[in-house]
Structure 1
Amino acid sequence: MTAPLIVGVGPAGIRAAQTLVAAGLRPQVVDEAPASGGQIYRQPLQPDGRSAQALYGSEAGKAVDLHRTFDGVLGKIDYYPNALLWNLRDGQADLAIAGRAKRIAYDGLILATGATDRILPVPGWTLPGVYTLGGSQVALKAQGCAIGRKVVFCGTGPLLYLVAWQYWKAGVTVAAVLDTAPASAKLALVRGLTLAPAIVLRGLKFGFDLKRAGVPIYSGVEALRFGGTARVEGISWRAGGREHHLLCDGIGYGLSLRPETQVADLAGCAFRFSARDRAFVPQKDAAGRSSVAGVYLAGDGAGIAGADAAERAGERAALALLQDRAFPVDTARCAALESDLAKIEKIRDMLEAAFPFPAHWAATLPDDLTLCRCEDVSVGSVRQAVQAFGLTEMNRLKAVTRTGMGRCQGRMCGAAVAEVLAGACGREVAAVGRLRGQAPVKPVPLTLEAAE
């Protein structure tokens, strides 16, 4: 007998599992991490003496509650940690676990796949010592180590200030915070005080604490360049009409987040373009139902909305699955969850206005800059291919240049490639399409032993 499958054990996946278990189902739960929590509430690989307060700050209570909730359902689910889901087909999921293949059948699918960092390449971005903001956070939370002794954090988005603050609280020297958003954009936060005072005030506190500690914060940063030979040794940028240079041995860089959608693609979900996320996201209704019967979407994998939204969306998607199977559900609870999610969407609009993506950068990228590091494709190669073949679509560009064919399957370079392609062919990003997901969505070892 098959059972529903939940992919991901962040806030959305945990609440989905809790809801299905409460209804008497025994879901299957798959996650790449060794423990629950997702990225935001990631647990250390080994207990290291740090308290929940030290790890998660003001969100410690939420983190502890979610971890305990998941621990409480462990005996009532079939849980596969450290498991890479690399394919879906015909109601079956292919996993790689400890070098062995495993195939599980499922009846109903809740995708809570989360998000990945969004970047645009800048000179020096492939140097050792340069990490994404998310990668910087993983090092600190899971491994209890920093990416350097003197670290600069740059880019934009709420994560920029959060990670910088977390490093400062951990005792690391934060040399500077470089925000690509203009200072005027932060007026959106002031307007958002009535909409989400707790969120805005918490974010302002991060910036205030950093400034009070003497950390320089620059706004409207342009022309980022990471310098060094064997590894990163410094950073240069332009702000306020001046050139700036700073020595450092670690850089955390990111331009907000992008949804992780490849598994939804394998599940056959229809997609739409999100102008706010500047990305194609799988279509869903207010309850989380996708375009495919029996497939439900929750959390940042269906559009960036944050951890609080992910919890609510995970519960709502599970309730939708139960509704579609004629289980009795609390319709008032369903309505309350949808109302909360609609409000959070407005908060996300406010945050996006405060931390806009620097779309104009794509036109300024030098031709010799590496764009797709997996396949070593330069910005100039993409522009030349567009001119030579009249390319206007992402998958045709992939076929000609191999962009997105490497280990990351476009997860890291896809957003940047779309921006460069759109600029080169004179179209909007929405018009150039998206890289289609295909199995394996992530690399699997050649030594993978066959499934039983």
Structure 2
Amino acid sequence: MTARARPLIIGAGPAGIRAAQTLVAAGLAPIVVDEGAACGGQIYRQPPVADGRDGRALYGSEAAKAERLHRGFADLAGRIDYLPNALVWNLLDGTADVLVQGASRRIVHDGVILATGATDRVLPVPGWTLPGVFTLGGAQIALKAQGCAIGSRVVFVGTGPLLYLVAWQYMKAGVEIAAVLDAAPAAARLALLKGLASFPAIILRGIRFVADLRLRRVPLYQGVTRLRFEGASRLSAISFEAAGRSRSVDCDGVGYGLGLRSETQLADLSGCRFEFSPRDRAWLPVRDAASRSTVQGVYLAGDGAGIAGADAAERAGERAALALCEDRGLPVDASRAAQLEAELARIGHFRSLLERAFPFPAHWVRDLQKETHVCRCEEVRVSTVQAVIEQFGITELNRLKAVSRVGMGRCQGRICGTAAAEFLAADAGLPIDRVGRLRAQPPVKPLPLSLDDEHAEAAE
């Protein structure tokens, strides 16, 4: 264990970086733990080695923000303890269990800021386990961090702003875009008009992405249903319905995503209270305007407590750090805290408009075929889930997990949890908030089964 308790920040994306800067400015020396090899999170991910691309090539119009955060975090060297490539796999009673270089360390902390970020949200569709099918985030990481594409002729499918951003990024990189398929109907875009006056730059940037894709004659389809990825041993085509017609597009790569889902496992292990968010269609840890959770000394920042984007994450990270300082009796600029809360509320309103413009296609679960895998880790198919629901009269998600093994695999429900909840709700005829949520348990991600002698000694 560490010799003395210090603040702990989990995550070094926009929220974690701003939190660290704020704590250091207040005279504290936080410990920052991050799974990435370098700071930036998913949105501002840095290549593992320099490959000649500048910030504009990597981050587009967000290059200035990315470079500012990278430089700001580098300036903290010597004033924080930074553990990259490290996994926090458990949190309990003021301690964090961390896997670092194959050894497990237990870190005592005096206040923790959870800036755990988000991952892609998907629903299973026939063929989604074929090689060549990637999530949108995975496709973006391949391009941004590795400088490679997921195919030579790629289709992007799903809904949400990320769909058009990644398609545009691939197009600008010279990859052939075979089509962009959006689950949201065209009429839903009218919701964005209400945000044009307050967030013109964001909306106009999205319009530009779509316009550029159309200029390159990329086929764009909206209101897509009955999606199916085709191929024998690898992806070769995608079939779907749009505007009442069945269609098919040949491709060798797919980027697929239905928005993002918050990483909430550590908040759960910390004992935070959760509430269902109709907007996010998910159970989220409760936080107040100052980013305090319902557990003393636990603060929530960024997309890990509700999807709102990188700008909101920066502000929430700073506000969480100010709340930690307040709770320690340190002086805090009250006007700055109030400004951050007002900005976060404004961004939250825009986030609600985005959700109406890009609604989650929950109705897709009604079209799932019996042979489709719901849980790819445990290879549990739709037919198995239907059978156990009917046999045992299951109406609660953890009960479904216990009986069917959905969510028991390597991802611990990160990928299949959304689908299992949606499927159970639809099959049982219940509102989605009535079927509950998967409970987190340590380790939140896979760990080595054994350690060598050196690592075992370090773990003790």
TM-score by length of 1: 0.99
1:240 shift after superposition? 1.0
> 2:109 aligns to what?
106
> 1:81 aligns to what?
84
- Counterpart CA distance in 2 for 1:252 and 1:20 is 38
> 1:133 aligns to what?
136
- Counterpart CA distance in 2 for 1:109 and 1:406 is 28
- TM alignment of 1:184-195, pairs within 5 A: 184-195=187-198
> 1:207 aligns to what?
210
2:336 to 333, 336, 358: 333
- Counterpart CA distance in 2 for 1:47 and 1:174 is 27
> 2:403 aligns to what?
400
- Counterpart CA distance in 1 for 2:77 and 2:209 is 35
- Counterpart CA distance in 1 for 2:447 and 2:137 is 22
2:433 to 421, 426, 430: 430
1:191 shift after superposition? 2.5
Q: Secondary structure at the match of 1:328?
A: coil
- Counterpart CA distance in 1 for 2:106 and 2:218 is 50
Residue identity (%): 65
Give the aligned residue type for 2:184: A
- Counterpart CA distance in 1 for 2:324 and 2:70 is 23
- TM alignment of 1:57-68, pairs within 5 A: 57-68=60-71
- Counterpart CA distance in 2 for 1:351 and 1:149 is 31
1:386 shift after superposition? 1.1
- TM alignment of 1:264-343, pairs within 5 A: 264-343=267-346
1:181 to 167, 176, 184: 184
Q: Secondary structure at the match of 1:76?
A: coil
Structure 1, unmatched stretches of 5+, are none
2:199 to 185, 196, 201: 196
> 2:170 aligns to what?
167
Q: Secondary structure at the match of 1:188?
A: helix
1:288 shift after superposition? 0.4
Query: Which whole-Å deviations, capped at 9, do the CAs of 1:117-154 have from their partners, x for residues lacking one?
Result: 11010110000110000111111111111111111000
Determine if contact 2:119/2:137 at 8 Å carries over to the other structure. yes
Moved more, 211-220 or 280-289: 211-220
Query: Which whole-Å deviations, capped at 9, do the CAs of 1:222-255 have from their partners, x for residues lacking one?
Result: 1111011111111111111111111111000000
Determine if contact 1:9/1:38 at 8 Å carries over to the other structure. yes
Give the aligned residue type for 1:128: P
Q: Secondary structure at the match of 2:257?
A: strand
1:305 shift after superposition? 0.4
1:227 aligns with 2:230: yes
- Counterpart CA distance in 1 for 2:288 and 2:223 is 37
Give the aligned residue type for 2:176: T
- Counterpart CA distance in 2 for 1:433 and 1:75 is 44
> 2:255 aligns to what?
252
Determine if contact 2:93/2:270 at 8 Å carries over to the other structure. no
Query: Which whole-Å deviations, capped at 9, do the CAs of 1:166-208 have from their partners, x for residues lacking one?
Result: 1111111111110010011111122321121111111111111
4+ residue runs over 4 A deviation: none
Give the aligned residue type for 2:385: V
1:98 shift after superposition? 2.0
- TM alignment of 1:46-65, pairs within 5 A: 46-65=49-68
Query: Which whole-Å deviations, capped at 9, do the CAs of 1:292-321 have from their partners, x for residues lacking one?
Result: 000000000000000000000000000000
Q: Secondary structure at the match of 1:73?
A: coil
1:369 to 355, 361, 372: 372
1:90 shift after superposition? 2.5
1:34 aligns with 2:58: no
- TM alignment of 1:9-24, pairs within 5 A: 9-24=12-27
- Counterpart CA distance in 2 for 1:75 and 1:154 is 44
Determine if contact 2:301/2:313 at 8 Å carries over to the other structure. yes
Give the aligned residue type for 2:330: F
1:378 aligns with 2:405: no
Query: Which whole-Å deviations, capped at 9, do the CAs of 1:73-97 have from their partners, x for residues lacking one?
Result: 1221010000011111232111112
> 1:93 aligns to what?
96
- Counterpart CA distance in 2 for 1:177 and 1:191 is 25
Q: Secondary structure at the match of 2:354?
A: helix
- Counterpart CA distance in 2 for 1:366 and 1:132 is 21
Structure 2, unmatched stretches of 5+, are none
TM-score by length of 2: 0.97
Moved more, 12-21 or 164-173: 164-173
**Would you say how many aligned residue pairs link Structure 1 and Structure 2?**
452
Give the aligned residue type for 2:153: K
Q: Secondary structure at the match of 1:417?
A: helix
- Counterpart CA distance in 2 for 1:398 and 1:243 is 35
Query: Which whole-Å deviations, capped at 9, do the CAs of 1:35-79 have from their partners, x for residues lacking one?
Result: 000010000011100010001001001000010010111221010
- Counterpart CA distance in 2 for 1:254 and 1:278 is 15
Moved more, 385-394 or 152-161: 385-394
Give the aligned residue type for 1:201: L
Give the aligned residue type for 1:429: I
2:148 to 145, 149, 156: 145
- Counterpart CA distance in 1 for 2:225 and 2:136 is 18
Give the aligned residue type for 1:125: W
- Counterpart CA distance in 1 for 2:97 and 2:143 is 31
- Counterpart CA distance in 2 for 1:339 and 1:63 is 23
1:217 aligns with 2:220: yes
